[in-house]
Amino acid sequence: MVHQYKLNGYNLVLDSCSGGVHVVDEVAYDLIALYPDHTPEEIVQTLLETYRDRPDVTEAEIRECLADVESLVKSGQLYTPDTFSDIAGTFKERSGGVVKALCLHVAHTCNLNCAYCFASQGKYHGDRALMSFEVGKQALDFLIAHSGTRTNLEVDFFGGEPLMNWQVVKDLVAYARTQEGPHHKRFRFTLTTNGMLIDEDVIDFANREMDNVVLSLDGRKE
């Protein structure tokens, strides 16, 4: 599948099945959009009409651009066929329904307000909320119950900002540890945080209980 968009003056073409990203000029951008549903002659005529006021866009250049696009298609960098489409729906079936990892949204909110936030400032376009211990416990029980013969289970405390719900994180880790022996499991915990609320307690606990701490603090010093 091909996605096209314009950003900061760039014409971008993303070929999702190959992972190819192409930065192209306007003519190539329009040509790529026409490519799947038009013959070469239709493409050339349409672009000549579109750019009739641009003397720099000649028929020869359009045909050269078309040849470049065809070459990208042939080399598997554009309009690459989706070779996973037939088997994508069977992944769950083939894994036997086993779940080995959870990303626990313990804080559906954040203490920062980054304009570029992928998670709409932690609330994912929903209402701000904190996960209760009871909901987190049920999630851990679900993970154990669906983990089959896997011994090592992964849990990432995520948000928003998980340190805004720190006591619940600690209580869930304590609960998970009580379940390791009886179920023959081992939990590996990750904390993904913007770092703003890290204090001595967080550092001590993370050093003891977390296998990974992911810091996503970025931006200018202030």
Binding flag, residue 197, ligand SF4 (CB under 6 A): no
Which residues in the 84-113 window bind ligand SF4 by CB under 6 A? Answer: 110, 112-113
Question: Residue from 119, 130, 198, 213 that binds ligand SF4 (CB under 6 A)?
Answer: 119
Binding flag, residue 206, ligand SF4 (CB under 6 A): no
Binding flag, residue 213, ligand SF4 (CB under 6 A): no
How near is the Cβ of 107 to ligand SF4 at its closest, in Å? 9
Binding flag, residue 121, ligand SF4 (CB under 6 A): yes
Residue type, 97: G
Question: Residue from 30, 34, 194, 202 that binds ligand SF4 (CB under 6 A)?
Answer: 194
Binding flag, residue 216, ligand SF4 (CB under 6 A): yes
Binding flag, residue 117, ligand SF4 (CB under 6 A): yes
Question: Residue numbers of the site for ligand SF4 (CB under 6 A)?
Answer: 110, 112-114, 117, 119, 121-122, 159-161, 194, 216
